[in-house]
Copies of this chain bind each other. A is one copy, B any other.
Amino acid sequence: METRKRADARRNEATLLDAAAAAFVEAGVDAPVRDIAARAGVGVATIYRHFPTRADLIVAVYRHQVEACAEAGPALLAEGGSPHAALGTWINLFVDFLVTKHGLAAALRSDDAAFDKLHAYFLDRLVPVCAQLLDAAAEAGEINPGTDALELMFGVGNLCIGAENHPQYNARHMVALVIAGLRR
């Protein structure tokens, strides 16, 4: 069996997740480490012990939402509508997720090494789903084949940066153009 963690450690981890989630809502995923620690009533080192990089913490906080998004892909395809429509709907789910998490899109695109894990997690989990949707649409002759799923996800992620500020900019409009541009 795996070595059992100490009770206080498990308790602190849960407390930290709550505190981080709250801090992220208020101040974005760049919320200062000290703030999160203070909110949870622990020392800063405790955060680093449980989540060595900020990416680990972000992944832990949002893991279930990412899973839900990943699982929605095949479900949309199974509904039997047009694959292109399914792709569009799914991308919009992803956009909804990103734009409601202040700064997450910016963190995702960051090339800072600390965010490699975040990058890897999102890509590992979501790119295959996107690829599946792209393949289905290409097979149905609705879009031109040859678009790389990774590139598409990267681009959509980029389009979502700064969407929550700047009210003049609506990421969904640009994403819609991209989806339209895929059409054969």
Say yes or no: B151 contacts A158, CB within 8 Å.
no
Chain B residue at minimal CB-CB distance from A173: B151
**Among B151, B158, B178, which residue has its beta carbon within 8 angstroms of that of A181?**
B178
Say yes or no: A162 contacts B158, CB within 8 Å.
yes
Interface size class of A (residues with CB under 8 A): 20 to 34
Q: Assess A169 versus B151: contact at CB under 8 Å? Given A109-B162, A111-B162, A162-B158.
A: yes
Q: How far is the CA of A181 from the CA of B184 in the complex (A)?
A: 11
Majority secondary structure, A binding face: helix
**Among B158, B169, B173, B178, which residue has its beta carbon within 8 angstroms of that of A161?**
B158
Q: How far is the CA of A154 from the CA of B170 in the complex (A)?
A: 10
| Interface flags, A119-133, vs B, CB<8A=1, else 0 | 000000000000000
A159 at the interface (CB under 8 A from B): yes
A150-184: which residues lie under 8 A (CB-CB) from chain B?
Answer: 150-152, 154-155, 158-162, 165-166, 168-171, 173-174, 176-183
- Would you list the 4 A-B pairs with minimal beta carbon distance, nearest first? A181-B181, A177-B181, A155-B174, A180-B181
